[in-house]
Structure 1
Amino acid sequence: MAENFEKLQCWQVCNELKIYIRTIILPSLPKTERFELYTQLLRASRSATANIAEGWGRYHYKENIKFLLNARGSVAEVLDHSLEAKGWNYISDKNLQNIRLQTESCIKLINGYIKYLRNQGE
């Protein structure tokens, strides 16, 4: 297991997604969405890395997996909010495609880590 959560590949790619959302997507949203879509996207992207970190800090594999499932849900939420942003023409097709690729990568790595932990817990 990694010596700290920052070494986990799933945390690293989720952190990259969070940075992309923060630097590229959020500034493109209109001010009318400041307390709606903007906040939801920011919270979901932060939640993914936070849940991975919190799970890593837990003692039991089952507890860690619970937080990884939450992180996976947060990544899916980022994609859902991004689809809405595209639906309102707040973001481009290219930005949505980048988010799709990043969220797919996040979910694959989280699923791989869950599988690893489940095998360790047997």
Structure 2
Amino acid sequence: MEQNYLQLNQITAYKKSFHLSNLIWELTSNWDSFAKYTIGQQFVRAIDSISANLAEGFGRYHKKDKIKFYYYSFGSVKECLDWNEKARVRKLIDNETYTKIFSILEILPKEIHQLIKFTNERLKI
């Protein structure tokens, strides 16, 4: 049976944010307890929120609902930029890891805005 509809796992922003959330999980789970329970938990919640809100928005029926969740995802990206910076400054991650995370977080807002634009243009309701 041929699928003509866009699937969640075809959305680039979702795939990137999902993989990034697993990277952050692996990193923070190895931190000492103080770092893990202060920055680590917040970083994981924020990074998981990116793909989770994209998925929830994707599953909504109405255009306005979809876009609302896409914007929540955008806000989580900005929050993660802060947690990434704090992790670097507090020497919880090295510069190479910081740069890898930053480069993905830097691309995600553009991709989320493309998804919002696509949703606005393609959906009637």
TM over 0.5: yes
Letter in 1 for 2:13: C
Say which of 38, 41, 44 aligns to 1:42. 44
Where relative contact order (Cα < 8 A, 6+ residues apart) is larger, the structure is 1
Q: Secondary structure at the match of 1:47?
A: helix
Q: CA deviation at 1:70?
A: 0.4
Corresponding position of 1:109:
111
CA contact (8 A) 2:67 2:116 kept: yes
Following superposition of structure 1 onto structure 2, how do residues 50-89 of structure 1 map, counting pairs within 5 Å?
50-89=52-91
Structure 2 Cα separation of the partners of residues 82 and 28 of structure 1: 16
| d(CA) in 2 for partners of 1:9, 1:89 | 30
Q: Which runs of 5+ in 1 are unaligned?
A: none
TM-score (structure 2 length as normaliser): 0.87
Q: Percent identity?
A: 28
Aligned pair count reads 120
The answer to whether residue 105 in structure 2 is matched with residue 96 in structure 1 is no
CA displacement 1:31-67 (0-9 Å, x = unmatched): 2122211110111111111100110111111110110
Q: Do 2:24 and 2:47's aligned partners in 1 also have CA atoms closer than 8 Å?
A: yes
Q: Could you list the runs of 5+ residues in structure 2 that have no partner in the other structure?
A: none
RMSD: 1.5
| Moved >2 Å (runs of 4+) | 27-30
| Bigger Rg over Cα | 2
